[in-house]
Structure 1
Amino acid sequence: MKGNEALAEAAIRAGCRHYFGYPITPQTEIAAYMAKRMPKVGGTFLQAESEVAAINMVLGAAAAGVRAMTSSSSPGISLKSEGISYIAACDLPCLIVDVMRGGPGLGGIQPSQADYWQVTRGLGHGDKQLLVFAPSTVQEMVDTVFNAYHKADTYRIPAVILADGMLGQMMEPVSFPDEDKAEAIEKPWATNGHKGKRTHNIVNSLLLKPEQLEQTVFERAKRYEQVKQNEQLWEEYRMEDATLAVVAYGASARIAMNAIDAARESGLQVGLIRPISLWPFPEKAIEAAAGKVQGFLCVEMSMGQMIEDVRLVVSGRKPVAFYGRTGGIIPTPDEVLCEIKKLMGGER
C-alpha cells in the first residue's frame, strides 16, 4: 500500500471513527482514503473549510472521549498550531499526522524534514509538549498509529506522527492486525453525557488565576517527565563496534543504512542510531553511544534541526557533524558515504 493510505487504514483499525481534515500535498491521499472508508465503518469524515476549523473539530471530538484524527502537511500544520495548543491545554488525546514538505512558506511539495523544530518544540504557545513519532517504513507507519493512539490515551497528550512526502507516497508491503485493536481505555474525564449518574465534566483551557494556571502547568510537567523516562524509542544498527555513530530518523535513516553498509565494506566502523520517538528524544541511546564512539554524524533533510538535540546530550564530549539536503532534495547514500569517509579519514 501507499504510505498515506496504509496509515489511514491503520487509524481506522485502531478505533478512529472521526476524521477532520483539509487537502494539501503530499498528504491528500489520507483524506481521500478516509472519505471512502469512514462511511463504510460507521465513522465521520468531514472536510473542513480550513485547517483551523479541522483542528478545532478534533478538539471537540477528543473532548467527548472518542479517537479522533487530523492530517496535513507543513503549512497546514502551522495553521493548526493554535488549536493544538488548546488540545494540549485541555489534556486531550488525539492523533495529528504531518507529512512534511519543503519550506518555509508554501515551499514545494517534495519531501523534507524541516518541521522537526516545529513539532518537537511544542507546536503552539505555552508550556507543553506533544508525543512525536517518526516511522521510517510504511509498515512502521502502520504500527506507529496503534502505539501513538495508545500512548496519547495513556498520558492524555496529543500524538504526532511525523512522516514526509517520500514515506507518504512510496508503496511497500504491509500487514495489519487480524482484528481491530481499539483498546478500551477508560476516560472518566470525557464530556459524553452524565445521564444523571455523575457530576458534569468540563473541558477548559482558560485559567484566569495565575496560581491555578501555574499549578496545572506544574502537574502537566510531571506527566511529561514520566513520558521522558519511560517512552524513549530508538533502533540501533551495526553499533556494536562503531567508532562513528550516524544519527538519522525517518526516510533519512533508510538512506543512512545503505551508506553504512557501503562504509562497512570499506572497513569503516560506522553504526546508526535511529530515533523513533522524537519527543521524548532518545537521550539514553545518545548518552550510551557518547561513551563509546569517537564522534557523531547527523543526517537530515533540513539545514540541521535534530542535531541540536544530539549536541545537547553529547555536551561537547565528542564532535557532532552534520550533513543535510533541503528544499525537497533527498540526500543519496553516496553523498552520506562521502561525508562518512571525510570524517573517518578515508577508506581503511
Structure 2
Amino acid sequence: MTRKLMKGNEAIGEAAIAAGCRYFFGYPITPQSELPEYLARRLPEEGGIFLQAESEIGAINMVYGAAGAGARVMTSSSSPGISLKMEGISYIAAAELPCVIVNMMRGGPGLGGIHPSQADYFQAVKGGGHGDYRMIVLAPASVQEIVDLTRLAFELADCYRTPVMILGDGLLGQMMETVEFNKQPENVAPKPWVTKGCRGRNKNIISTLHLEPANLERHNLSLQEKYKKIIRKEQRAEHYLTDDAELVVAAFGTAARIAKEAVNLARDQGIKAGLFRPISLYPFPSMLLKKNIPHAKAILTVEMNAGQMVDDVKLSVDGKVKVHFYGRMGGMLPDSLSILKHLKRIGGYENEDSLSETKSLNA
C-alpha cells in the first residue's frame, strides 16, 4: 500500500491504471480536465494509450471500438460533455460492452457554470440516451472512495458487460485528500466474446442493429434480465446512526458529507437522526433503505439539484414514511445548519416559519 495526497480527478486516473485500464479517450471540460491531463502523462509510462479526441462524440465512439476489442477503457467528461456522449453510451450498452465513464458534474442546465452540482442524476440513472438501457452508477463521497469505486467500476463492467458510470461532482474532482492504492496488478481475464476474425479464422461480429422486431425484442428481454440481476446483487449504501434514527437524511456524494455533519449536530441536541447514503445510484439501494431505517418517522432527502433522487427515495419507502426534500442549485452547496433546521421542522422541533424559504425547495 502506498499513501499520498492527491486531487480527486488525478486519483481516478491512478486508480484506473491500477485496475488495468490502458486506454483513455476524452476531451477537456472543466471541472474534470485534470483527469485527462494526468492520464496524458501516466498512460504512456504504463504502455497505454491516451488520445484526446476531436470531440466528446468522437471520444465515446473510440471507447466503443476499444471495448469491442476487449480492452479495459475509460472516458471522462462533465455534464454537457456527457450529454454529447449519450448516443454512444446507448450503443455500448446495446452491444453489451464493458467500459467506465466518469462524470464530474457541473451546474446546469445548458452551459451552466463550473461549480459542483448533482443535477445529472436523472440522466445517469434513467439511461440518458435512447432505448430501454441502464448502466451501473456509483457515487463516491471522498477521494479514497473515488479510488475504491474506480477499481470496482472496472470489475463490474467486465462482470456484467455493461458501461459503468462514476458520478461525482466538481468539488470531489478538485479537492485533495490522502489516499491509499493497492498496487497489486489487476488480472484481467480473457474475453471470449471480443470482436475478431480474419481469413481462415472464426469471426465474431459485435453489432447493435436488429432489423427484425422479434429479434430486437429478444435482445431487449435479455438486457432486462441482466438489469434485474444487477438490482438483486449490486445495491450498495452507507448507514450512519440509522439503527435508532427517527429522522433520516438521504444524500449522496458531496451532499452526504455535509449531511453527516448535520446528523452529528442533531445528535448533539438529543435528536435521533441518521444518514442513509446511496453508493450505487443504479441500482438504487431500495432494499437496504427499507431494511436499515426501522424507526424512521420521516426522511429528508438533501441534493444539489431541484429534486431528483427524492423520487427514488419515495418509491423505495412506498408511502410508509413521509419524504421531504431540501436542495440547492446552480453550484450552491447546502450547509449543515440549514439541513439541521429542516430536520427540526419535519420532526416538530422547530417552527416552520423560522426557515428561510429562499434557500429551499420543499416537496
TM norm structure 1: 0.97
Report the CA distance between 1:334 and its aligned residue.
1.0
Assess if the C-alpha contact under 8 Å between 2:24 and 2:75 holds in 1: yes
In structure 1, the residue matched to 2:353 is none
Deviations 1:189-246 (A, max 9, x none): 112457855x211110010000000001001111110000000000100011101111
In structure 1, the residue matched to 2:317 is 314
Give distance in 2, aligned partners of 1:271 and 1:173: 26
Is 1:210 aligned with 2:252?
no
What is the correspondence of 1:1-348 to structure 2 with a 5 Å cutoff? 1-180=6-185, 182-193=186-197, 196=200, 199-289=202-292, 291-346=294-349
Q: Secondary structure at the match of 1:173?
A: strand
Q: Which amino acid aligns with 1:288?
A: K
Q: Secondary structure at the match of 1:178?
A: coil
Deviations 1:153-194 (A, max 9, x none): 0000100000000100000000101322x2322311112457
Report the CA distance between 1:317 and its aligned residue.
1.5
Q: Which amino acid aligns with 1:324?
A: G
Assess if the C-alpha contact under 8 Å between 1:247 and 1:274 holds in 2: yes
Assess if the C-alpha contact under 8 Å between 1:98 and 1:163 holds in 2: yes
Deviations 1:125-144 (A, max 9, x none): 00110000000000000000
Assess if the C-alpha contact under 8 Å between 1:245 and 1:289 holds in 2: no
Give distance in 1, aligned partners of 2:188 and 2:198: 19
Give distance in 2, aligned partners of 1:187 and 1:195: 21
Assess if the C-alpha contact under 8 Å between 1:235 and 1:275 holds in 2: yes
Assess if the C-alpha contact under 8 Å between 1:290 and 1:317 holds in 2: no
Deviations 1:8-40 (A, max 9, x none): 110011111110000000000001001111111
Give distance in 2, aligned partners of 1:38 and 1:186: 21
Report the CA distance between 1:99 and its aligned residue.
0.1
Give distance in 1, aligned partners of 2:121 and 2:130: 16
Deviations 1:56-90 (A, max 9, x none): 00000000000011000000000000000000010
Q: Taking structure 1 as reference, are residues 290 and 264 closer, same or farther at Cα in structure 2, changes over 3 Å only?
A: closer
Give distance in 1, aligned partners of 2:53 and 2:238: 37
Report the CA distance between 1:292 and its aligned residue.
2.7
Q: Secondary structure at the match of 2:324?
A: strand
Deviations 1:93-132 (A, max 9, x none): 0000000000000000000000000000012100110000
Q: Secondary structure at the match of 1:175?
A: strand
Q: Secondary structure at the match of 2:181?
A: coil
State the percentage of identical aligned residues: 54
Report the CA distance between 1:288 and its aligned residue.
2.1
Q: Which amino acid aligns with 1:100?
A: M
Assess if the C-alpha contact under 8 Å between 1:150 and 1:183 holds in 2: no
Q: Greater CA deviation, 205-214 or 334-343?
A: 334-343
Q: Which amino acid aligns with 2:184?
A: E
Give the total of aligned pairs: 345
Q: Secondary structure at the match of 2:130?
A: coil
Deviations 1:278-314 (A, max 9, x none): 0000011222246531011100000110000011111
Q: Secondary structure at the match of 1:144?
A: helix
Give distance in 2, aligned partners of 1:265 and 1:7: 36
Q: Secondary structure at the match of 2:180?
A: coil
Q: Which amino acid aligns with 1:210?
A: P
Q: Which amino acid aligns with 1:138?
A: V
Give distance in 1, aligned partners of 2:183 and 2:316: 41
Assess if the C-alpha contact under 8 Å between 2:196 and 2:203 holds in 1: no
Q: Secondary structure at the match of 2:178?
A: coil
Q: Secondary structure at the match of 1:162?
A: strand
Q: Secondary structure at the match of 2:243?
A: coil
